[in-house]
Chain A
Amino acid sequence: MLNRKVLCLSLLLVAGLALAGAAADTLTLYTAFDADQALPYIEAFEASHPDIDVEWVRLSSGEVYTRIQAEAANPQASLWFGGSNTSHIAAAKAGLLEPYKESLAWQYIDPVFKDPDGLWIGLYVGYIGIVSNTEFLTEVGAEAPASWADLLKPEFTGEITLAYAFSSGTAYTTLAGMLTAIGSSDVGFDADDEVYVKAFSDQVGQYNTSGSAAATMVGLGEFGVGMVFSHDIIKKAIAPGYPVVMTFPSEGTSYEIGGMALIKGGPELETAKIFYDWAMSKEAQDLYQEFFRVPLNPEAELAEGLVKASDVNVLPIDLIWYGDNKEAMLDKWSEVTGEY
């Protein structure tokens, strides 16, 4: 009776595993932080809240948005931790987020860094930088690109890497900066933008799914030049000691507000609020030192070597507009670049 034996055996195994898997209070969250950066936060949270067990999935911020949209009828997670706030804004517009104006942090934080209805809140700020591999630059005899115009130089053809604008908040923020810096219109595509965006896309050697990958790729020398947030460039390429140099587009660069939000109808909203409050506390925001992000809690410690607003030419980008019009912008981007 072979099949009966196999069946019994597997049932026993399953029962054993099910017993082992029993847990306390759970919080399910989606994070757009890289897995190795999300882990320290989640471990610190679990250490200070031993009764809460955090289950988390790492997705790019565009993917978090689509995941929440897909699950709207039956939400699986309660909190969205990290990622560029253009995706949070798009989700707020789509009615996918739960307001939390009662949080202490929402009361004191600068209005620029929060949703007026409490649908999302800023965790940190970041600026898009250009990371170049110095060995590559020596090899082709080029200066590190330091403007949007430089990026179109022939020596960088096929050597630029960044993420797809639809999957990565980093890349969408880069696109918003590109559109703001080039041409005369403040928002959206004008004729100059179309020409530039097409020419830029033709320079790209590989599009990634996740935004920060480009920093390491350039560090490794797989590609010459990448467009990434400065904190990721410092953390993932400069701090480890890769031969890279960081520059910023002289015409001005774009910035993100790393956001956090409660997911409407999430199964563990009360537990999620505990994490939310903790994530805005000095204790949690101090952890950003390790990753060179600019914390938004004014009491939090800043890392040495951090890039602040005063260090770069930051464009006045209408992040709310770019969040609201994300779908239309992405369609236009596909039309112009031929990439999907």
Chain B
Amino acid sequence: MKLESYRRELRGEIRRLARDPVLLGIVGVTFLLLAVFIVFPLIKVVQHSLWPQGTFQPKYFLDFFQKVYYWRPLVNSLIVGLLVSLCATTVAFVFAYGIARTNIRGKGLFRLIAMMPIVSPPFLIALAAILLLGNHGVITDLLRLDWDIYGLSGLVLTETLAYFPIAFMILEGVLSKIDPSIEEAALDMGASKLRTFFTVTLPLAVPGIASAALLVFIRSLEDFGNPMVIQGRFRVLTVAIYHAAVGRYNLPLGATLAIFMLLPTLMIFVVQKYYVARRSYVTVTGKPSGIGLKSTERHVKIPILIAMCLLSGVILLMYGVVLFGSFTRLWGFDNSLTLANYAYVFAAGGQYIWDTLKIALIATPVGGLLSIMIAYLVVRKRFLGRGTMEFVSMLNFAVPGVVVGIGYILAFNTPPVQITGTALIIILVFIFRRMPVGIRDGIAQLQQIDPAIEEASSSLGAGFFRTFTRVTLPLVAPAFLSGLVYIFVRCMTAISAVIFVISAGWQLLTVALLYEVDQANLAAAAAYGYVIIAIVLSAIVLMRFVVGKLFRGRLAPLRGE
């Protein structure tokens, strides 16, 4: 009986898809892409770990539990991840609350400062930490401190600063979108502001806090640049995986370590997904709504303002010292100013700048369109395997970069898809690594748009394509644009997955920067950092201008810019 109804449903499903060939084609191609570029590399990782020579040999898998130098880095990574997640989400919440829910001045400036770690390679912070707080850093020497930045404390500090902006972007979005009429209702019924905050505002923000904390945890866990620079003897798993796979070319060991990195992130991903999925997002409707409630009480504003100033000061100091460092002749010793470091970057890294730009300019539009399309399919369309599509496309969200990197070299070094050494593999890494964020933003945005708006378009006779491009796309423009900006920025700044797939023909700026830090050429590294920042900032301005024109000025202000 049950089977019968399932069959009937299936038949109806197929009929519906057959009636809509455009949708059918898009769904088919999307599934194929997801299978080849997300699932296949992961299968290869598992295969190389457990079946290294084609036969079942879980040698490294078993070794992992016995050899301290294999499992200790995982424990270290988890410790760092938890601490960073906690610190960064807390800091980000304060920051987001200050900007979204109070009437303090200088919000634009604060937002700009908070975005700085996003528009630069995250491990630029580690470089700044060494310049300021290293054993002979500016602050260390000034205050005669005796502390060791190389290790856990340095990792937590740098990663908190590097990744709180991501949490901030999410939380600001969430806090500013909470429908004020719900809070007003609570206040009208006699609840105090504090009570309203804890019983209405905070619970409404919980899904946002959860996804912010999750994202930061995963980003910290998969962070590669900062630990490479500052881990000291506190070895974390990403660096161990890199050294196993690239340093020693022990791919079975690298793949095994990758599995142990994947397990915790996947677990958290699934838990979070079902937790968040139970909560409704629809707070924005086609109907007009009031402006968000702003806290104006001094006892709320002043502490938040102080915290925000403090954090902003630290960030400015860090970027300032790197900027200054990029102009010094010999950092820490001969601080006379020079342009020599930039001359060196353009001479040694000129080709890298071009390569990176070319790759980013291809990956950005393709990745942006693909992610908004998947988001649309998942939210608005009913078709077989819709849930699977969402899960798979969001999977790379939880898959750490080094795992993706190792998966790509395992999967695409031999036919049928032999693309190692090409620009294509780097582009694909960027697209499929970054799509989940575009999809998530797209889904969140679409869920907040009442389907009635699109239904109106349909009932007036517009087809799928017309409705999608004329109604849906303009409505999700902010998500689409921030998706584009995000992908471009990550193309310019990411390192963890792509370091596995770069080749002589195609080098990236971040990798060049990492090598300069690794060789302790700190001034040259600082100059590389600012070249990247300059490119990213000009691209953001340009992209806003171009897309703004396309939308005929209907563009919502970009959050997280």
Contact = CB atoms under 8 A, between A and B. Distances in A.
Interface of A: 1-3, 5-7, 9-10, 13-14, 17-18, 20-21, 28-30, 34-36, 39, 43, 55-58, 60, 62-63, 65-67, 69-71, 73-74, 76-77, 158, 164, 166-167, 204-210, 212-217, 219-223, 240-242, 330, 334, 338-340
B248 A206 contact: no
A205 B150 contact: yes
B102 to A, nearest CB: 36
A14 B135 contact: no
Q: Which 9 A-B pairs have the closest CB atoms?
A: A221-B136, A66-B249, A216-B520, A10-B365, A76-B421, A28-B504, A167-B247, A213-B520, A57-B504
Nearest to A1: B469
B69 A340 contact: yes
B361 A13 contact: yes
B273 interface: no
Contacts of A207: 233
A205 to B, nearest CB: 6
B348 A36 contact: yes
Contacts of A34: 519, 521
A241 B507 contact: no
Nearest to B245: A66
A66 B68 contact: no
Given A1-B469, A39-B348, A55-B504, A210 B232 contact: no
A32 B418 CA distance: 27
Interface residues of B, number: 68
Contacts of B357: 17
Given A28-B504, A39-B347, A76-B505, A70 B515 contact: no
Interface string B486-528: 0000000000000000111101000010011011111010000
Interface of B: 68-70, 73, 130, 134-136, 148, 150, 228, 231-233, 235, 240, 243-244, 246-249, 330-334, 344, 347-348, 351, 354, 357-358, 361-362, 364-366, 368-369, 409, 413-414, 418, 420-421, 469, 473-474, 502-505, 507, 512, 515-516, 518-522, 524, 546-547, 550-551
21 contacts: A10-B365, A21-B358, A35-B521, A43-B347, A55-B351, A55-B504, A55-B505, A57-B507, A63-B246, A70-B413, A74-B418, A167-B247, A206-B231, A209-B243, A213-B519, A216-B520, A221-B136, A222-B134, A222-B135, A242-B333, A340-B244
A206 B504 contact: no
A17 B413 contact: no
B264 to A, nearest CB: 20
A73 B507 contact: no
A240 B336 CA distance: 13
Contacts of B331: 220
Summarize B's interface: helix, strand, loop or mixed: helix
A6 to B, nearest CB: 5
Contact of B68 (A36, A73, A330, A338): A338
A17 B359 CA distance: 10
A207 B512 CA distance: 20
A57 B369 contact: no
Contacts of A18: 358
Nearest to B228: A209
A14 to B, nearest CB: 6
B413 A74 contact: yes
A217 B520 contact: yes
Nearest to A76: B421
Given A43-B347, A340-B70, A35 B516 contact: yes
Contacts of A56: 504
B465 to A, nearest CB: 10
